[in-house]
Amino acid sequence: MISGMSEHNGSGAKKLVRTKDGRLVAGVASGLGAYFGIDANLVRLGFAVFGIFYGLGVLLYLVAWAILPEEDEGKSIVEDFINRHRPQ
């Protein structure tokens, strides 16, 4: 995948994922930046502002990390956890 490009699924629609290119921690900001076509540093700044002024930045980041799948995986951390603990 080219850096700065978002991943597309088979139908040509954009897919929101955590990217490996440009990541600093878990790829949330770079994935959101690629999906919305903005610089990942602006997304990081947004998380920092929400963290400082409202205390929500870290919480929002952790939620996004848990629900957004890695770019080369089909499932998010939450989906994988639920599927592993679902009774057969």
Which pLDDT score, from 0 to 100, does residue 2 have? Answer: 37
**Rounded CA separation 27/33 (Å):** 10
What pLDDT was estimated at residue 42?
95
Average pLDDT over residues 76-82: 84
- What pLDDT sits at residue 36? 92
pLDDT of residue 9: 52
**17-66 residue pLDDT tens:** 888 888 788 889 999 999 999 999 999 999 899 899 878 888 888 899 99
Q: What is the pTM of this model?
A: 0.72
Long-range contacts at 15-20 (CB < 8 A, ≥ 24 apart): 16/68, 17/68, 17/69, 17/70, 17/71, 18/64, 18/65, 18/68, 18/69, 18/70, 18/71, 19/71, 20/70, 20/71, 20/72
